[in-house]
Amino acid sequence: MGVFSDQIFKRERPLRACAAILALQCATAAAAVCSVQGKALWMALLASLLVPAPYAKAALWAMARRGLSKPEILGQEDLRAFISRNPGQCLIGRGFEFTPDHARRLSDLMGSGLKGQQGRGHGSRDIHALSARNKAPLAVPIADLRAHTLIFGTTGAGKTRLFDLLISQAVLRGECVIVLDPKGDRDLKERISAAALSCGREGELFSVDLADPEGSCGWDLLGSWTRPSEIGDRLSSLLPSSGGASSFKSYANTAITVAVTALLMSGKKPELPAIRNAVGDLSVAQDAIRKKIEDLLSDLKAPDADAYYARIGEKKAPSSQALRQFFSYLVDQGYAKADPDMELLFTVSGLDRGYYQKISAGALPLLNTLCQKAFRPLFCRKKGRVGFGKVIRQGGILTASLRSLIDSSSGGSVGKLMLADLASAAGYSYAINGGGGRRGVSVFIDEASELACESMVQLLNKSRGAGFSVTAATQTLADLESRGGGRAQAMQIIGNCNTLISMRITDAETAQAVTSSLASTLKFQRSLSVGAAPGNGYEGVSKGASISQMPLFPPSALTALPDFEYVARLADGRFVKGRIPLIKIQSTKGAGKEHPRKTSPDSSANGRRRAWQAS
């Protein structure tokens, strides 16, 4: 109101200006008393009838800016009330649908300069004040979330607090919830626990924390698989593949696959420590071949085969070549079937021992990282381990704190392996249930650039049919490119997300990538020119108009969004401007605390909550 008051005093007579400003202040005060938005708007319209048009615009502008200085606070009871009244919908905040008319007004506003918050926050509240009805609940159909969501936003813009809102609702809806958090945000974990407690799901919580292995549930990092090559693909996918490293990655894949095959053939479970000890050791493969053949002979009871085997091992242990010839004899005689796993072991066991150790050494650093002593209680626990299969079957709530700030290498490796297992679990779920599971599966990936890999692309590509909805958050497009597989993979991730939410962005390339998918609109401009010819008294007036293309939302405006505000391109075609409500953390005793201040809600927060429930 201060800007408009200054303009009024400059352009009008002082007495009339004072009267207009007094009417404006009365309208604003009356609106503050009325907690329901509809009544506040009617008071503004009533004030607009008492003052001229410029002052009416000032009144509406002041009403639009009312309440934007502080974020709204919601509790679990507010979210439950919304879910019960709006089944099939997911709340994403309060705001309005952004139309071409708002785009033209924003263009004019940016031309005159957006007003900042003068040290009280980031960005400008003028953008959200473009509509007088800027506090309407914004919701998206839950079915549209299965087309996946991507969130962009710079540090501190509010991505994790948007996760609070979305995850709390998924928990309250009774869905299976899986959260991969590279940072290990404590507030996010507390809000998930509070949401589970409020709806009686505290017994369904699972926690994996790399910084607290003893306090975490045991986790089966290899998860669901049916063939040894799946484990080889997952582990080798974590190795670099650019340039000459691709050949070493291929060798590592083969070495891990051989180790898993040999362990299974020897009757051992392929745990991570056992795989690490077997990689590069040809004796493990040779022992597995001999055990397989001896098991076949014990079942056959064939005297000719027994005599043949006794002859080749009469003086010393049979060589790999002799064992291969003997197995071929068994196949030719119909005593055994051709086995690709045996052929793989025969091929590898015939290599030079030193050469095989060299080409398979590339897999050892990764395996040593995953088998380090600190992780043994987490990944090598003999009993009580769980995996995604169990979490999904039970409809549980999993929070995985990867602690990449402490150890980025370990956190990234564990997170990518979990993504690979999750993509595999989605495939098995679709094959078994056809996507018709009892509960939906909501997957949330914070700081997605830390875990960007081929498994993430596969999860986005193929998990929708299994009832999965994936929501990922990152800071910039460059992060996805540099830490993932390049620009092509980054664009694949963006292209597979039908809902795109952008908070404040300071990177020009990312802002351009976000707004380039929006439709353009038209801008109308009028011109007036006056000409005069000196001496003859001739004057000429010419008028003109022009139409030009303009973006629906300019990239430069993304840098001016305040904290907890966003624009979103929704899967149903809408483009909206919204604000995120903050979720209050409630303790088991019923006491709560807010973010960012740890005080109990004041009367204004209670008023906003009553307004929310009424709307």
pLDDT in tens, 62-89: 556 666 668 889 988 999 999 999 999 9
In a domain? residue 536: no
Of 21, 37, 65, the residue at which a domain comes to its end is: 65
pLDDT confidence tier of residue 34, bands split at 50, 70 and 90: very low
pLDDT confidence tier of residue 581, bands split at 50, 70 and 90: very high
Structure confidence at residue 164 (pLDDT): 93
486 lies in the same domain as 584: yes
β-strands 149-152, 468-474: how paired? parallel
Expressed as residue numbers, the domain containing 509 is 73-219+386-522+551-614
297 lies in the same domain as 201: no
Compare 428 and 515 and report the one with higher pLDDT.
Answer: 515
Of the candidates 607, 578, 580, the residue with the CA atom closest to the CA atom of residue 40: 607
Are 431 and 447 within 8 A, CB to CB?
no
249 lies in the same domain as 302: yes
Task: Say how far apart CA 500 and CA 282 lie, in whole Å.
Answer: 51
How many domains would you assign to the chain?
A: 3
CA angle 452, 454, 459 (to 5 degrees): 90
Task: Say how far apart CA 234 and CA 495 lie, in whole Å.
Answer: 24
Of 370, 398, 413, the residue at which a domain comes to its end is: 370
Structure confidence at residue 63 (pLDDT): 56
Q: pLDDT tens for residues 482-521?
A: 877 788 888 999 999 999 999 999 999 999 989 988 888 8
State the DSSP H helix or E strand holding residue 91, giving kind and residue range, or none if neither.
Answer: strand 89-97
241 lies in the same domain as 357: yes
Structure confidence at residue 19 (pLDDT): 54
154 lies in the same domain as 44: no
pLDDT confidence tier of residue 588, bands split at 50, 70 and 90: very low
Gyration radius of the chain over CA positions = 32
State the DSSP H helix or E strand holding residue 544, giving kind and residue range, or none if neither.
Answer: strand 538-551
CA distances from 339 to 287, 328, 336 (A): 17, 10, 9
Hey, which bits of 128-175 come out as E strands?
136-141, 149-152
Structure confidence at residue 398 (pLDDT): 96
In a domain? residue 364: yes
Compare 217 and 608 and report the one with higher pLDDT.
Answer: 217
332 lies in the same domain as 187: no
In a domain? residue 297: yes
Residue that the structure tokens 């693909």 belong to: 233
Sequence length of the chain is 615
Residue that the structure tokens 């004041």 belong to: 602
The mean of the pLDDT values for the chain is 82
Among 150-154, 318-322, 536-540, name the one with the lowest average pLDDT.
536-540
Count CB neighbours of 355 within 10 A. Answer: 9
Could you tell me the CATH number of the domain that includes residue 177?
3.40.50.300
Q: pLDDT tens for residues 82-141?
A: 999 999 999 999 999 999 999 988 988 888 777 766 556 788 888 988 888 888 999 999
